[in-house]
Structure 1
Amino acid sequence: MDGVSDEVADGFVRVRLDLSYDGKDFSGWAKQARGQRTVQGEIEDALRTVTRSTETYELTVAGRTDAGVHARGQVAHVDLPGALWEEHREKLLRRLAGRLSHDVRIWSAEEAPAGFNARFSAIWRRYAYRVTDHPGGVDPLLRGHVLWHDWTLDMDAMNAAAEHLVGEHDFAAYCKKREGATTIRTLQELRWERRSDGILEATVKADAFCHNMVRSLVGALLFVGDGHRPVEWPGKVLAAGVRDSAVHVVRPHGLTLEEVGYPADELLATRSREARNKRSLPGSAGCC
């Protein structure tokens, strides 16, 4: 079955999964070559085992996280035969908890509303990136989720720089280009807060993200925060529209996918269709 489709085949049920994982020991979300441990591969194997299936039912995910990136509020869907779903639905969560490794948990498995697609129906994804500039380094109990930046950071300067990045832009300067894929995104929110424990937390929210976008944006803003670049620099890089070798892609362990947002049930199918259209900026080339 094509899990990317909005249409669910006769006799099948689309199931929404809400899940979390620690990305440290995963080679990202997506299945890869044999020997690479991935979140998708682990969950699909567990589903096949606990439902005693001979077939692997493929997952479609809201956000394909990279190696080492964590998720607290990831969403996926899987299309299962109706009879299999009815047989296992009541005990599925408990059985998966017993089969999955401790660094990945599924919190909810429910029949999805009509038109739901975990990837294309989403209207926003919200990430958090956590950094400490404490001269002593990172709390050992948080070291797997917080980056140490060995310079004092000016949060106000970083927020001032972030203002020039919010909105709909071509983020080619902050993305790893993929053939045939657009780099136009709507960055809905980008702001920093210093928590009571001293950790700086960036909230990064957009309709979607291209490859390496969040970690590149964070890297540029850290250069502003530590005084290596002026406040205007990240905006100038964005306007230039090409990768700048000075933009550092920060390490993945400070990044967590916190939440995925969806519209009201009656708008799911419409949103899914809209999200498949390749975007272009006003006045730029592109048919759709």
Structure 2
Amino acid sequence: MAIEYDGSGFSGWQRLTEPGEPDMRGEPTLQAAVEQALGFVAGRPIEVVCAGRTDAGVHASCQVVHFDGPAHRDPRGWTLGTTSRLPPAICARWCIPVADDFHARFSARARRYRYSILNRAVRPALRRQYLSWERQPLDADAMHRAAQALLGENDFSAFRTVHCQAPHARRDLQFISVTRDDDIVHVEVQANAFLHHMVRNIVGSLLPVGRGEQPETWLGQLLAGRDRTVAGPTAPSAGLVFLGPRYPAECGLPAEVAL
């Protein structure tokens, strides 16, 4: 199932309690909301596995989850029934039967994110939950050139949070671009997987290059140095959208999540 959500007001994707238990720790989680809606349609508790967990305030246009459900529900019923039980900030976009060995996380070969920055003197009013804001002029072309130093399989220790639980920091960054659309600068990035806060930390290190405070070679130096303490700050969560995972064609999923 593909899930679209506005992450504002949620404490992230991952459920903080056991399946079916109410969340008593503050803001709700996206996983708990999706499982509750699916459970209503299924008539029994449902547990989902996602392609990539997102942090508090991060959005998704195509999060993919898998679950085991009763065979007598058709895809349209799952999609519409689940959406009818979800809050306005979340919807199920589509649902497709998959092979028993499909896994939303482990079957994915890549994941893609977009980070959007409003680059003008005045903060945003409209779409503010989907945009970061930088008042100083940014040179998007310089940021793009600097970002190319990150391509390939590398140790991304300079761009992982100290709270990251991944066993190692090696990731294969397959694509990164920085483009400008009027007063919005977009950073798009695709990798086989991401470390905790990796995209936001890369953006935070690209901003000094865009402002002219650091040379274009700085990203390569940070990568080689593997020292998080000298890299840029973590960019705010509001500008980040998980565009979705990418799966091999044999998984039979829609083109937007296929390699």
Task: Give me the TM-score of the superposition, normalised by structure 1.
Answer: 0.80
2-structure distance, mates of 1:180, 1:168: 16
- How far is the alpha carbon of 1:154 from its aligned partner? 0.7
Equivalent residue number for residue 11 of structure 2: 27
Match of 1:76 in 2: 65
Partner of 1:48: 39
- Find the counterpart in structure 1 of residue 85 from structure 2: 99
CA contact (8 A) 1:169 1:184 kept: yes
1:88 Cα offset (Å) = 6.0
For residues 27-83 of structure 1, the C-alpha deviation after alignment (integer angstroms, 9 at most, x for no partner) is 111011533411111011111122221xx3211111101110000011110122xxx
Aligned to 2:57, the other structure's residue is in SS state coil
Q: Is the 8 A contact 2:158 2:231 kept in 1?
A: no
Task: Indicate conservation of the 8 Å contact 2:112/2:245, yes or no.
Answer: yes
Alignment match of 2:115 (pick from 129, 147, 160): 129
- Other-structure match for 1:227: 212
Identity %: 37
Instruction: Tell me, yes or no, if the aligned pair for 1:51 and 1:88 is still in contact at 8 Å.
Output: no
Q: Could you state the TM-score of these two structures normalised by the residue count of structure 2? A: 0.89
Match of 1:9 in 2: none
Q: Unaligned regions of 5+ residues in structure 2, if any?
A: 18-22, 254-259
Deviation at 1:92, TM superposition (A): 2.2
Distance 1:226 1:258 in 2: 27
Secondary structure of residue in 1 paired with 2:65: strand
User: Is the 2:119–2:138 Cα contact (8 Å) retained in structure 1?
Assistant: yes
2:46 maps to which of 49, 53, 57: 57
What secondary structure does 2:245 align onto? strand
Aligned-partner SS, 2:8: helix
Q: Which runs of 4+ in 1 moved over 3 A?
A: 87-90, 177-180
Q: Cα RMSD over matched residues? A: 1.9
Q: Which whole-Å deviations, capped at 9, do the CAs of 1:108-128 have from their partners, x for residues lacking one?
A: 122113531110111111110
The C-alpha deviation readout for 1:170-191, integer Å capped at 9, x for no partner, is 1011012534622110111111
Q: 1:225 to 1:114 in 2, by over 3 A?
A: same
| Alpha-carbon distance in 1 for matches of 2:159, 2:200 | 9
